[in-house]
Amino acid sequence: MATEPVIYEPGKAREAFRAVTRDVAWVAEAPKPHKAWLGALGVSMLMLAIGVYSIFVLLTTGIGVWGNSNTVGWAWDITNFVWWIGIGHAGTLISAVLYLTRQSWRVSINRAAEAMTIFAVMCAGLFPLLHTGRPWFAWWMLPHPNDMDMWPQFRSPLMWDVFAVSTYMTTSILFWYMGLVPDLATFRDRCAARGEKLKAIIYGALSLGWRGSARNWHRYERAYLILAGLATPLVFSVHSVVSFDFATSQLPGWHTTIFPPYFVAGAIFSGFAMVLTLLLPLRHLFNLKHIIKEEHIEAMCKILLATGMMVGLAYATEFFIAWYSGNLYEKFAFVNRAFGPFWWAYFAMVSCNVLIPQAFWFKMVRRNVVLIFILCIFVNIGMWFERFVIIATSLARSFLPATWSYFTPTIYDIGLFIGTLGLFGTLFLLFFRYVPVIAMSEVKGAMPEAHAGGPSKGGHH
């Protein structure tokens, strides 16, 4: 590339790199945690405790403590599962898809987004696990030789789910950890320099002896690129498989071919909203405004606008197909969805997901951090309702009017959901305090200073 080599005064480029290290590392190095951080952690742990209690009651009594019934056999559990998984997808998207498409602004947020993925998938996995009723037998889902001589049934989308979600979890963790290693090495060296021996040993073990060797970086970058290339189809496959849970059934309202792309778009939509919900306050609290810049936030708002409209298109398509199919049950399912007993959920969904994000058309909105935060909360709510609407309304009014019923959650449904929010919050806050929250090495590599002092003849960049 013919970029003019930037000429720096001696030491100036290094000054810029040092600044990045310092600004990121201080979050973890501050001797006392921020008051707001402590407060948030307290609230999260309280919520987590509610969740733990709900799980305790659930395990000792049985899933009858939930509001699920014979008619509405999937309810909040699966709603929350799909919701959390969807949230997780934005992390992979930011770290993998934006990497492949060379969107260098991603480096400011990818670490946090990947952490969000992992924690969200953990929360998601909890729901189907508990919904089995006997989670301690979950290993029966893995193919293993047993004394009943039985194998899992690989033609079931629920089995596909097991493979897709666990592959996704593994990949996310490895990808995240690999990205962390050079930054953990930075922490190791800083702790060693300050004489904090124990921390240096812990970070040292975690950073595997990384020493920034060019020969290592060479393989590292290859692996990173390939992992990004693998994670991209994976993330699409995971939510497609999740949508198969519904699409392969024969229930009107579930049985549609539009589900995979529709679910994936929704996943990206909700995930980006969650990234913003998390990062806007933290960026403010920890003074990271010059690293997570306004342009980055604006770019994410545009993605929200685009995916929000994709989701809106899917809603419209569903109605069109219901009418166009001429199928009585299909038509009924959708009229019921909008005007049946769950009409309020449907309208919450449409207004939060389609109408409210239209505000992102205006630059004024995309630059107003407070407003973005509020809008993102709405999107989070709207996407939760989308899953609820698909699952509960379709089940509550299926083929046989004799089986129709209504779903009302119990306090244990609500408690578990609050608990996962608490788990997520707790993990995220701990991550923010003890792990490099921003991919320092990647930020440095994306800075103009990274090309400083290049050969005057040009030719490299």
Partner 1 sequence: MLGDGALYGVLAEYDTPGELIEAARKVRDAGYTEFDCFSPFPVHGIDEAMGIKRTILPLLIFGGGFAGLLGGILLQWWTNAYNWPWNIAGKPEWSIPANVPIAFETTILLSVLTAFFGMWMLNKLPQVWHPFFRLERFGRVTDDAFLLGIEARDRRFDSVATTQLLKDAGAIAVENCHLDPDPASRTMPGWITAFIVSSTAFALIPFAIAAKARNSHSSEPHIHVFPDMDFQPKYKADAASDLFPDGRANRGQLAETVARGSLNADDTFYRGIEGGKWTEGFPKQLEISEQLVRRGQIRYNIYCAPCHGYDGRGSGPVPQRVAAGGGAWDARNLVQAGGPVVKMPNGQLFNTISNGYNTMMGYAHQIPPADRWAIVLYTRALQRSQNAAVDDVPQEELGRMPMPQMQTPAAPAGAGSAAPAAPTGSAPAAPATPAPAPAAGSAAQPENK
Q: Which of 212, 249, 302, 408 binds partner 1 (CB under 8 A)?
A: 212
x/- contact string, 179-198, with partner 1 (CB under 8 A)? ---x--xx-xxx-xx-----
Q: Which stretch binds partner 1 (CB under 8 A): 28-36, 205-213, 336-344, 388-396?
A: 205-213
Instruction: For the segment 282-341, give every residue that binds partner 1 (CB under 8 A).
Output: none
| Binding of partner 1 by 378 (CB under 8 A) | no
Distance CA 112, CA 272 (A): 12
x/- contact string, 146-165, with partner 1 (CB under 8 A)? ---xxxxxxx-x-xx--xx-
| Binding of partner 1 by 141 (CB under 8 A) | no
| Binding of partner 1 by 403 (CB under 8 A) | no
Q: Which of 37, 74, 210, 424 binds partner 1 (CB under 8 A)?
A: 210
Q: What's the CA dihedral at 277, 279, 281, 286 to 10 degrees?
A: 170
| Binding of partner 1 by 244 (CB under 8 A) | yes
Q: Supply 47's token pair.
A: 């919520």
Q: Which of 2, 214, 364, 370 binds partner 1 (CB under 8 A)?
A: 214
Distance CA 397, CA 399 (A): 7
Residue placing its CB nearer to partner 1 in the complex, 153 or 370? 153
Distance CA 309, CA 355 (A): 9
| C-alpha dist (Å) from residue 202 to 187, 188, 229, 397, 449 | 10, 8, 31, 56, 31
| Binding of partner 1 by 100 (CB under 8 A) | no
Distance CA 347, CA 340 (A): 11
Cβ(95)–Cβ(173) below 8 Å: no
Contacts of 311 (CB under 8 A, 6+ apart): 262, 265, 266, 269, 353, 354, 386
Residue placing its CB nearer to partner 1 in the complex, 10 or 31? 10
Q: Which of 195, 326, 401, 455 binds partner 1 (CB under 8 A)?
A: 455
Instruction: For the segment 17-56, give every residue that binds partner 1 (CB under 8 A).
Output: 17-18, 21
Instruction: For the segment 108-137, give every residue that binds partner 1 (CB under 8 A).
Output: 134, 136-137
Element (H, E) at 163: helix 157-193
| Binding of partner 1 by 102 (CB under 8 A) | no
Q: Which stretch binds partner 1 (CB under 8 A): 89-97, 217-225, 311-319, 357-365?
A: 217-225
The number of CA neighbours under 13 Å toward the Cβ of 124 is 28
| C-alpha dist (Å) from residue 81 to 75, 84, 117, 346 | 10, 5, 13, 19
> 194: buried, middle or exposed (CB in 10 Å: 19+, 13-18, 0-12)?
exposed
Residues that bind partner 1 (rule: CB under 8 A) add up to a total of 81
Cβ(329)–Cβ(273) below 8 Å: no
| C-alpha dist (Å) from residue 401 to 39, 264, 329, 331, 398 | 50, 32, 12, 15, 7
Q: Which stretch binds partner 1 (CB under 8 A): 233-241, 329-337, 348-356, 415-423?
A: 233-241
Q: Which stretch binds partner 1 (CB under 8 A): 46-54, 206-214, 332-340, 354-362?
A: 206-214
Residue placing its CB nearer to partner 1 in the complex, 177 or 319? 177
Q: How far is the CB of 38 from partner 1 (least distance, A)?
A: 29
CA angle 425, 429, 433 (to 5 degrees): 170
| C-alpha dist (Å) from residue 68 to 12, 156, 418 | 63, 22, 18
| Binding of partner 1 by 178 (CB under 8 A) | yes
| Binding of partner 1 by 145 (CB under 8 A) | yes
| Binding of partner 1 by 362 (CB under 8 A) | no
| Binding of partner 1 by 245 (CB under 8 A) | no
x/- contact string, 412-441, with partner 1 (CB under 8 A)? ----------------------------xx
Q: How far is the CB of 4 from partner 1 (least distance, A)?
A: 12
Q: Which of 47, 122, 234, 348 binds partner 1 (CB under 8 A)?
A: 234
